[in-house]
Amino acid sequence: MTVFSLVALPIILLSLIVRYQKEIRIWLWTLQKGKSHNGCTENPSDLKPYPAQPIPGRERYRVMMDIRKLDAQNWLTLDKNYMDEHRVRDALLREKRNQVLQCLPESVGACREALEEVSHFLCQRFPNTFETTMHEINPHIQNRMTGEKFNIGGAGRDENPTDALEAAVRLTMEDLSILMMNEDGEYYLAASASLFPTGWTVDQRIGWTISRLHEPVPLWHQQVANSVSKFLARLTPNSPMERSNYFIEVKRPDENLFDILYRPGSLCEKDLSNPSSEEIIIRRERQTFRRLPRTGAIVFGVKTFLTPLDELPMQEFENLAKEMETWPENVGEYKGKNVWGAKVKELYRSRKQNAEIKWGKRGDVTSQ
């Protein structure tokens, strides 16, 4: 090696490092975050929603955990409804901030870690929509669809945990909550950005244990409480899980997307009995559970899907009609069956008849 190369090489290397320092920082940040996901390069406005779990049509009613391994590639999803829902999320975070966003002081580390995980996932999975950039020494995430930009690491961040969780739910289509363990070994709601709630608000229930949160749910404590506690305690960063839930929602004729998604009171007001078929919506949730590796808190994600009853496939309609017959009185009441049940039955019968006529199974429908 010549004297020239001994002097020149380090100088070239140093100037390359200075020239590409931002890129190197992003690369190091990505390396530190670990495993990547297959990138989806489609425009979100062309993406169909992640398929919601169909109504199973169980023969017997029981509160079920019904958890399965998380489809990790699709922990967080984007689809064609992103911008419409983002406008609702933005309005809620401005106009109903306290009702939809609360973080207890002890959740600050977990909220920040959740934002880092969310940002890393979205940049890897949707590289055309989200990008990591460096500002001075801090990585930021840039959302190309909304133009929003958030500081996701390092110094210069506000100490307030709500800022981190707000940034995370402005990026996602999912609502996000942080569960932490209390001194009695029970998980509780330490932070939550629940913008699309089903009959509750975060300011009423922040700090509640999982058990207390479910007090209004019939049979929850008898049938599932112990299994849920064990499941949450055993969750590891390498074993994320998911489950699904469905509700029936009845909207008023004049309600818009904001009113349909933000339901702090009830999903079906009692005075709305005898709704029209267009006013009945199958509201499904895909719930995900991930333990954060650094802080050990659990991130609970909820993606809400809306399917108008009129668009429900016949098999699922049949499954709904079957399941609602199996509900005990108090379960039916909890789910608002007295508001929409008769209408759903009537519509099911008429859809079934029409299908039978179409497929030529019956000669005379009027005799029924």
User: Which CB sits closer to ligand HEM, 25 or 221?
Assistant: 221
Closest CA to 146 of 157, 122, 130: 130
Which spans of this chain sit near ligand HEM (rule: CB under 6 A)?
63, 65, 67, 177, 179, 189, 198-200, 210, 213-214, 216-217, 224, 228, 231, 243, 245, 247, 300, 335
- Nearest distance from residue 286's CB to ligand HEM, in Å? 12
- Nearest distance from residue 274's CB to ligand HEM, in Å? 22
* Residues forming a β-bridge with 245: 285
Closest CA to 159 of 206, 228, 211, 112: 112
Q: Are 61 and 323 in contact (CB under 8 A)?
A: yes
Q: Which residue is nearest to ligand HEM (CB)?
A: 216
User: Which CB sits closer to ligand HEM, 86 or 284?
Assistant: 284
Q: Say how far apart CA 122 and CA 39 lie, in whole Å.
A: 9
Q: Say how far apart CA 123 and CA 134 lie, in whole Å.
A: 14
- Nearest distance from residue 209's CB to ligand HEM, in Å? 10
User: Which CB sits closer to ligand HEM, 181 or 210?
Assistant: 210
Q: Which residue has the tokens 């996000």?
A: 176
Q: CB atoms < 10 A from the CB of 224, how many? A: 18
Read off the amino acid at residue 355: A
- Nearest distance from residue 194's CB to ligand HEM, in Å? 7
Closest CA to 120 of 146, 103, 139: 139
User: Which CB sits closer to ligand HEM, 30 or 198?
Assistant: 198
- Nearest distance from residue 262's CB to ligand HEM, in Å? 14
User: Which CB sits closer to ligand HEM, 84 or 333?
Assistant: 333
User: Which CB sits closer to ligand HEM, 108 or 206?
Assistant: 206
Closest CA to 46 of 86, 83, 89, 75: 83
Q: Which residue has the tokens 């050990």?
A: 296
- Nearest distance from residue 345's CB to ligand HEM, in Å? 19
Read off the tokens for 186.
């029970």
- Nearest distance from residue 155's CB to ligand HEM, in Å? 32
* Residues forming a β-bridge with 307: 282
Q: Are 285 and 244 in contact (CB under 8 A)?
A: yes
User: Which CB sits closer to ligand HEM, 247 or 258?
Assistant: 247
